[in-house]
Structure 1
Amino acid sequence: MIRTADLVSIARSGVEASNQLLSTTGNNIANVNTDGYVRERTSFVAQLTGGVGQYTTERVMNTFAQNQLRRDTTNLAEHEAYWTKTAVLDNVFASEANSISASMSRFFASLQTANDDPTNMSARQLVLGDAESMLGQMGTLSTFLTNKEREINFEFTDSLNKVNSLVESIASFNESIRIAQANNRHDVPGALLNERDAAVLELSSLVSIETRESSNNDGSIMINLTSGESLVMQDGTFSVFEVNNSADLSYKSLQLTSNGKPTSLNLSETELGGTIGGLFRYRDEVLEPSRRELGQIALAVTEAVNTQNRAGMDFDQQLGGEIFTRPITTGLNYPTNADNTSIVNGRISKGGASDITSADYHVTIDGVTAGVPPTIDVTVALLNIDGSPVTDVDGVPISQSYPGLTAQSGVFSEVLGGMELEFSKGTGYAVGDQFLLQPTKDVADKIEVFTTRPEDLALASPIRVEAGDDNLGGAELVSTTVTNTFVDTSPFDARSSGFDGAGGIHAPGAAPGGSVGAPASVRFNSATEYEVLDSAGTIITTVSGISSLDNLLAQAADTPGWPAAFDALDNYPGYDFTLQGEPKAGDTFAIGYNANGLNDNRNGLIMANLQNVNGMQLNNAGSGDPVSFHEAYANIVGDIGQKSANADIAVKAGEALKLQSQDWFDSVSGVSLDEEAANLVRFQQSYAASARLLNTAQEMFDTILSMVR
């Protein structure tokens, strides 16, 4: 081994090396309580000429442990954000005090009480009071959810500002680390690296990221989202998050915009991870579905009651009207529309309770035709909350084209999904214009009780069927049904019924076609044949070969003799009845308006039983078995509860995983006082020995000098 260095040089290098070791150890001990500090280690190389060579100080780091800690931090932050928000909704919906189901039960129970004595005004007034209470409960929940949307949008903004600040800081740290390492190749800038790692760890709690070291070996790192988009790039540029949206300004979506390039990338919020990903998951999986499903229930309940009330006769012996308002939803303009003042309004159609879903409606203008009034061609498509198309059981997007719709204020045209649309702008639309309607999103707090008069409750049926006094057979009335009470005069609207709106049914000359009136009686020729007659006794049609006495007028409508003018309408005459037993030739059953039928509760009983009818859709495609109002609400409560419970389990699992990864990281990179104290003693001894060697060399030098004097 070649050694040419003198004893003084060797001793001096030993003192300097021991001093550096003591300095590194002292720095570790001093920072034992510093968050994010990674312990450092100094190593040396021996010189061929003797003594200690160049030292290198580096951080003690296990990259795998660090990356695992970041991943577990991301995972836990996402589950915590999701669970914290979901648990709040779970507590609200599960509370008996906030139960929509309870308020619906009270409303239908008061209807049942009113049916016990249809002439009791106090009982009728109680129905309206419980209706107000039910709507108030729905409105309170709806307002609460709306406030939660505003709250989460503020959190989005705050979290994104943090992300952008951290990304910019990391890019700045990269530049500082490059300069520091270029100026000192043998001493890593530990403080800068620790601060950058702390920023990266905090960033990982907000979004899911991956890091890579720069290929230039200059100490800088590159950061990507797990989905692949770059946040911090090798050339020093970085990307920032921007909030973007299309028509719905309250529904935030994200874009990445680079500070060095004029490009923007849309992001899939479901793949973000971290706190921001958890917030987006909560919004899309819990908050927004709950709002729309609550609105769907509110619309379905109120329109079902409205539909049934229209099918009855009120205390003033008039055809029933609407008990609840049908709120109008204004379509949201897309930014690319030719005129941002264009309006498309929507509302639930009459009788649309069983067809309405929680889907949004996307309306596209395909054509505009001038005229008086102008007409337009549109395509209506159903959308999920995230803007993706609703598909049927075969995976085909659900949409429908409607050519030639009247574009005039006050004119609503029925479309798919239990909705009707109004194009009040007339010729102000342009081909390609798009509108987004969200009929169930905020509707629950906009529905009101339309009437204050208890007399407007149509508890009675407007039709009375009476057996002839001379009947000899055993046929008896089982039930009457009223499915349409729309009143119109010639030229008849397709929706017209056989009711004349003046306390009667269409007489000859007033009915469609003008030749015969609405069905007013049935006369049996035998047990298997009957005639349908109008109020003047004119035979409308004869039905032969019957095997059932169910829905006699519906059977008559299927015969060749049924008037074409009746058949051209959607549902004429809109009433029917069913018998049981065996009729005899000559037996008659008269059909007439239920004048003075104030004690009748037939329609009220049907109305009160609506809560037990499976008349609501559970999915946006309108497929599957329908459910009752109570089942629909229970589905909301159960779904939120299940998601909250699953999130709670995920949080506990995430905490355990993060604790393990933190322990792993700390076991490698954390400062151990016991270890550092032992090093301190060892390096002190090394320093003392080197100093003693230096002193010995000095004494020997002095001795040699004295010998030659």
Structure 2
Amino acid sequence: MAMNDLLTIGSSGVAAHQRLLMTTGNNIANVNTPGYSLQRTFYTADTLGGVREGYTERVLNGFAQAQMFRDTSTFANRNAYLESVSHIDAILSDDSLSLSSKFDDTFTQLHATTDNPTALSTRELALSQFHALTDRYRTLNEQYQVQEKNISQDIVEKADEANALITNIAEINKEIVAAGGSPLDGNNAILSDKRDQAIKELAELIDINTIVQDDGSTLVFMRSGQALVLQDDHTQLSIVDGDPDSTQKEMTLSLAGSTRIIGREDIGGTIGGLMEYRKTTLDTSRNQLGQLSIAMTDAFNTQNRLGMDLNGDIGGDIFTLPTFNGKEFSTNTAAGTISGSFIAGSGSEVTPYDYRVTFTSATTFEVQRYDGDQPIDAAIAGTIPPTNFQLDGMDWDFSSGPFAAGDRHLVQPVRDAAASMTVSMSQPEKLALASPIRVERELNNRGNATVSIDSIYDTDPTTSDFTSPGGYDVNGPAEVRINAVGDYEIYDGLGVLMATAPAASAGQQLFSNAVPALTPGYEINIDGDVQEGDVFTMGYNTDGFNDNYNALRLVDLQQQDLVRKSLATSGDNKMTMNDAYASVVSFVGGKTSEARVAASAANSLLEQSTQRHNSISGVNLDEEASNLIRFQQAYAASAQVISAAQETFQTLLSSVR
């Protein structure tokens, strides 16, 4: 077998080292190009002498690259959550936006009314504080609404970015396959880098897995298995209104004429992080704020109704409690709708949950509480009729039927409650700061006992002895007389004996301990020594405007447990308004802290995997500079081989002549 001549060997060496120099120069030129992978040109020796035609390929470790993609998705997911939750955490923690400071301002002004209950100036200031309080609630809720809108827009934009990247990846795959997978000129390496950079950017948006094919193309799937890029097709992502809540955007995937909804837990990346924050933190804390607003407004309303205003009338509501409407799922077959309202006096029973109503037949249904998308406790069964169903301090109206088996409804009672609360009282004299009942001892009583109001719990004319607009029923308890054995005889305004409380009751909660028990809407205590014939009287507090009894009770609301903690019906399941707001702040703060730790850990993992990938596929300038010198020397040596071949040939020609 004849060997190649010296000129051919030298020429192949010059060509080979020229390409090596070009590859090295290309590496140096792209040292700062995003997504660029180190390239190497390889040759094999020709059995006849010299080198064969070489090839250029990327230096790449598929496992290291895949890990970097996964860590990119994880960090983008945690960072998107952190950035979103940090925003609302800063708002809730801002003293100028805090509800706690506004609670303090309101109760401070109410306390000022106790010094002079008849002064219109202090009443007007108290009423203005109620307006300021509702404005603060509304401001906070608007921040939630703004962030909800921004997140929805951001999700749509990110989905559009993902679609553009998916299309780009599919197109580059076609170019690589069309080139036949040949890496001879290094063009495929450049195309592969562009595709992998697009895959990395896609990994920031959604969590993906990749499969490299023998033809050089790469298939892309979501982590849940749904295909994004196939050999001959690619998917289209869309963001659609949630069913039935249009504010809860959902992602759909369309491929080969089929469309399906992708659950947020299967999305990952930035888009998944935004959806997770919205569902687990934004909506939950917004519901907690709404729950607090209902508990507070109902407590003030209830207490004001238990007093007497400056006009001598029984007090009315300070705030208007909002109503709510359910949302119907698109798959419902019947046109029935659900509406509802909050039961006056039951604001402390309201929860921060959403509710899903599922009809098991046209007249039977189940109600399931939800915290985000997690069911809470067991479902509650109900039937129609009756058309009203009461649960957790709410009255639900099912009169707008019909309903059908399988119909579902979403009810979010407190979602917008903070934005819907309004002050209905316009006149400061309507603040009911006085007690509607007056109790006294007769001046000629022989004993030293005194009578006092234990509590006022009901002023509704239909269920108590108070009359509208302000008065006291003549048939209600009007006098207590001590008989010969020390019992407490209770007479109405006509002098008719109504009931007797035994001496053993010691005059405590007299009406409850009487036989029969009485429920006039208030309770009294008689303390001290009583003597036979002692008389104690009760009647409407006519002209008792200087009385601050109910003003003190309004002030006391700040320290009362009014907001429901849990579904428990007993035990420590209530908290104060300040504690409730602190709980909202703490909840969001806790989520922020968790997100910060998770994002930091994810960033550390991403830095490690990126460093490992770059150590393999990144350009090292020191190494390339060394290669440049080596290849230059080899190029020069190969050129010398050609020169030697020419001189030898000239010598040969000279000898022939």
TM-score normalised per structure 1:
0.85
Maintained 8 Å contact 2:68/2:606: yes
How many equivalent residue pairs?
656
Maintained 8 Å contact 2:165/2:198: yes
Query: Which residue of structure 2 lines up, in the alignment, with residue 154 of structure 1?
Result: 153
Q: For the residues of structure 1 that align with 2:360 and 2:500, how far apart are their CA atoms? A: 48
Query: Which residue of structure 2 lines up, in the alignment, with residue 220 of structure 1?
Result: 217
Query: Which residue of structure 1 lines up, in the alignment, with residue 40 of structure 2?
Result: 41
Distance 1:382 1:45, change over 3 A: same
**Which of 317, 321, 324 is the matching residue for 1:322?**
317
Query: Which residue of structure 2 lines up, in the alignment, with residue 546 of structure 1?
Result: 504
Query: Which residue of structure 2 lines up, in the alignment, with residue 91 of structure 1?
Result: 90
Query: Which residue of structure 2 lines up, in the alignment, with residue 569 of structure 1?
Result: none
Maintained 8 Å contact 1:358/1:620: no
Query: Which residue of structure 2 lines up, in the alignment, with residue 510 of structure 1?
Result: none
Q: For the residues of structure 2 that align with 1:24 and 1:306, how far apart are their CA atoms? A: 80
How far residue 202 of structure 1 moved from its aligned partner, in angstroms, is 0.8
How far residue 41 of structure 1 moved from its aligned partner, in angstroms, is 0.4
Query: Which residue of structure 1 lines up, in the alignment, with residue 262 of structure 2?
Result: 266
Q: Which amino acid aligns with 1:219?
A: G
Query: Which residue of structure 2 lines up, in the alignment, with residue 346 of structure 1?
Result: 340
How far residue 212 of structure 1 moved from its aligned partner, in angstroms, is 2.5
**Which of 239, 244, 247 is the matching residue for 1:247?**
244
How far residue 430 of structure 1 moved from its aligned partner, in angstroms, is 4.8
Q: For the residues of structure 2 that align with 1:320 and 1:446, how far apart are their CA atoms? A: 22
SS at match of 1:444: helix
Distance 1:292 1:526, change over 3 A: farther
Maintained 8 Å contact 2:309/2:432: yes
Distance 1:78 1:367, change over 3 A: closer
Q: Which amino acid aligns with 2:618?
A: G
How far residue 115 of structure 1 moved from its aligned partner, in angstroms, is 1.8
Q: For the residues of structure 1 that align with 2:494 and 2:368, how far apart are their CA atoms? A: 49
How far residue 476 of structure 1 moved from its aligned partner, in angstroms, is 2.6
Q: For the residues of structure 2 that align with 1:305 and 1:356, how far apart are their CA atoms? A: 15
Q: For the residues of structure 2 that align with 1:234 and 1:97, how far apart are their CA atoms? A: 57
Cα deviation code 1:520-559 (max 9, x no counterpart): 4444446774344333333334444734543222223xx5
Residue 640 (1) aligns with residue 588 (2):
yes
Cα deviation code 1:241-297 (max 9, x no counterpart): 543511110112333x24225141431x24533222332233234322232222222
Cα deviation code 1:138-175 (max 9, x no counterpart): 11121122111111110011111111221222222222
How far residue 303 of structure 1 moved from its aligned partner, in angstroms, is 0.9
Distance 1:81 1:485, change over 3 A: same
Query: Which residue of structure 2 lines up, in the alignment, with residue 289 of structure 1?
Result: 284
**Which of 299, 306, 327 is the matching residue for 1:332?**
327
Q: For the residues of structure 1 that align with 2:60 and 2:361, how far apart are their CA atoms? A: 66
**Which of 413, 419, 422 is the matching residue for 1:439?**
413
Q: For the residues of structure 2 that align with 1:381 and 1:548, how far apart are their CA atoms? A: 48
Query: Which residue of structure 1 lines up, in the alignment, with residue 107 of structure 2?
Result: 108
Q: For the residues of structure 2 that align with 1:431 and 1:582, how far apart are their CA atoms? A: 67
Query: Which residue of structure 2 lines up, in the alignment, with residue 511 of structure 1?
Result: none
How far residue 706 of structure 1 moved from its aligned partner, in angstroms, is 6.2
Maintained 8 Å contact 2:488/2:503: no
Q: Which amino acid aligns with 2:56?
A: T
Q: Which amino acid aligns with 2:579?
A: E
Q: Which amino acid aligns with 2:422?
A: E
Identity over aligned pairs, percent? 37
Q: Which amino acid aligns with 2:386?
A: L
Q: For the residues of structure 1 that align with 2:573 and 2:196, how far apart are their CA atoms? A: 54
Residue 417 (1) aligns with residue 392 (2):
yes
Distance 1:523 1:168, change over 3 A: farther
Q: Which amino acid aligns with 1:293?
A: Q
SS at match of 2:32: coil
Cα deviation code 1:61-118 (max 9, x no counterpart): 2334323433333333233322322222222222221121111211122111112112
Distance 1:167 1:617, change over 3 A: same
Maintained 8 Å contact 1:360/1:439: yes
How far residue 702 of structure 1 moved from its aligned partner, in angstroms, is 5.5
Q: For the residues of structure 1 that align with 2:85 and 2:317, how far apart are their CA atoms? A: 37
What runs of 5+ residues in structure 2 fail to find an aligned partner?
none
**Which of 618, 628, 646 is the matching residue for 1:670?**
618
Query: Which residue of structure 1 lines up, in the alignment, with residue 523 of structure 2?
Result: 576
SS at match of 2:417: coil
| Alignment map for 1:224-239 (pairs within 5 Å) | 224-233=221-230, 236-238=233-235
Distance 1:600 1:614, change over 3 A: same
SS at match of 2:439: strand
Q: Which amino acid aligns with 1:676?
A: E
Query: Which residue of structure 2 lines up, in the alignment, with residue 683 of structure 1?
Result: 631
SS at match of 1:487: coil
Query: Which residue of structure 2 lines up, in the alignment, with residue 498 of structure 1?
Result: 465
Distance 1:378 1:484, change over 3 A: farther
How far residue 670 of structure 1 moved from its aligned partner, in angstroms, is 2.0
| Alignment map for 1:372-521 (pairs within 5 Å) | 379-386=366-373, 388-391=374-377, 397-406=378-387, 413=388, 415-423=390-398, 425=400, 427=401, 429-430=403-404, 432-488=406-462, 496-501=463-468, 503-507=470-474, 517-521=475-479
Q: For the residues of structure 2 that align with 1:3 and 1:682, how far apart are their CA atoms? A: 31
How far residue 320 of structure 1 moved from its aligned partner, in angstroms, is 1.2
| Alignment map for 1:564-643 (pairs within 5 Å) | 572-619=519-566, 624-643=572-591
Maintained 8 Å contact 2:562/2:575: yes
Distance 1:124 1:245, change over 3 A: same
User: Structure 1 residues 140-149 or 427-436, which shifts more?
Assistant: 427-436
Q: Which amino acid aligns with 1:279?
A: L
SS at match of 2:466: coil
**Which of 532, 535, 546 is the matching residue for 2:493?**
535
Distance 1:254 1:620, change over 3 A: farther
Q: Which amino acid aligns with 1:358?
A: P
Distance 1:159 1:311, change over 3 A: same
SS at match of 1:113: helix
SS at match of 2:538: strand
Q: Which amino acid aligns with 1:264?
A: R
Cα deviation code 1:497-524 (max 9, x no counterpart): 23232544444xxxxxxxxx44444444
User: Structure 1 residues 243-252 or 523-532, which shifts more?
Assistant: 523-532
Distance 1:74 1:436, change over 3 A: same
Q: Which amino acid aligns with 2:345?
A: G
Computed over aligned residues only, the root mean square deviation of the Cα atoms, in angstroms, reads 2.9
SS at match of 1:151: helix
Maintained 8 Å contact 1:532/1:540: yes
TM-score normalised per structure 2:
0.91
Q: For the residues of structure 1 that align with 2:361 and 2:457, how far apart are their CA atoms? A: 36
